[in-house]
Amino acid sequence: MRDLLAEDSARLLLHAGGKVDCAIVLGSGLSSALAGKADFDRIGYSEFSGMPIAPLTGHAGEARLGVWQGKRVLAFAGRVHLYQGFSAQQVTFSVALAAAVGARTLIVTNAAGGLNGAFVAGDLMLIADHMNLTGVNPLVGSQLENPFIDMQGAYSERLRAIAKSIDPKLREGTYAGVLGPTYETPAEARYLRTLGADAAGMSTVLETIAARARGIEVLGISLITNIVGAPNTNHAEVTAVAGASAPRLATLLDGVLTKL
């Protein structure tokens, strides 16, 4: 059987000229956070053997390789989601690839709905913890000798402290990862808030699990694009708010990479 991960990682290593320091996943509308930041090479997902390809606007669907603040960075502009019919393994292929090319740090970003009453659209929230409410886990059926991964401290306190030193206005909270693709009903919004979630979104939790299973340090950043349970939430609004805040995210990423 073809080993798609081995094929893609060998190709990436050749392209990058060596191991990668840090991988970044850019969520809905956030791909522009890399604009003008470094001289990134672009590799469309269709050029890979194993990268699943998403058919939705707001997800460019390409890997970007470059040196940013002295760090060799592999960024994924666009991700696939469970709600598109992809498996947990497909959703986390990018993380497996990042690990295979040597990344020891993963920065996961996403667009999320706010549940914490103090949050407003446009806020950036550091993910301090998550609830995986998707019903699946990328380690189910895995070949790992020990799939019983400790998820205490999954979102690195060290990296969060670095992020806060760069942007003191950052919010911090618990991210609920839901399946989607529907946005929440008012009752579901109350349910998630009662559980203790500060934000909800349709990504990230599986990637963090896959990263922790490989010993990668994770920084998670949610861009609050809307308030969960509010009327008329739509994908265009979510990506527009995300795009408007991409420059602030870019400044934050720039600072974090400097201090990594």
Bridge-based pairing of strands 22-26 and 171-177 is unpaired
Q: Choose the binding region for ligand HPA from 8-16, 87-95, 137-145, 175-183 (rule: CB under 6 A).
A: 175-183
Q: Whole-angstrom distance between the N-terminal and C-terminal Cα of the chain?
A: 38
Asked if residue 228 binds ligand HPA (CB under 6 A), the reply is yes
Alpha carbons 23 and 15: distance in angstroms, whole number: 15
Size of the site for ligand HPA (CB under 6 A): 15
Asked if residue 225 binds ligand HPA (CB under 6 A), the reply is yes
Asked if residue 112 binds ligand HPA (CB under 6 A), the reply is yes
CB of 103 to ligand HPA, least distance (A): 25
Distances (CA, A) of 99 to 89, 113, 184, 257: 14, 29, 33, 18
Alpha carbons 176 and 133: distance in angstroms, whole number: 7
Cβ atoms 175, 130 nearer than 8 A = yes
Alpha carbons 183 and 165: distance in angstroms, whole number: 33
Asked if residue 233 binds ligand HPA (CB under 6 A), the reply is yes
Asked if residue 26 binds ligand HPA (CB under 6 A), the reply is no
Cβ atoms 29, 246 nearer than 8 A = yes
Asked if residue 173 binds ligand HPA (CB under 6 A), the reply is no
Give the nearest residue (CB) to ligand HPA. 113
Of the candidate residues 98, 183, 212, 218, the single one contacting ligand HPA (CB under 6 A): 183
Of the candidate residues 90, 94, 226, 245, the single one contacting ligand HPA (CB under 6 A): 226
Which residues contribute to the site for ligand HPA (CB under 6 A)? Answer: 111-113, 178, 180, 183-184, 200-202, 225-226, 228, 233, 238
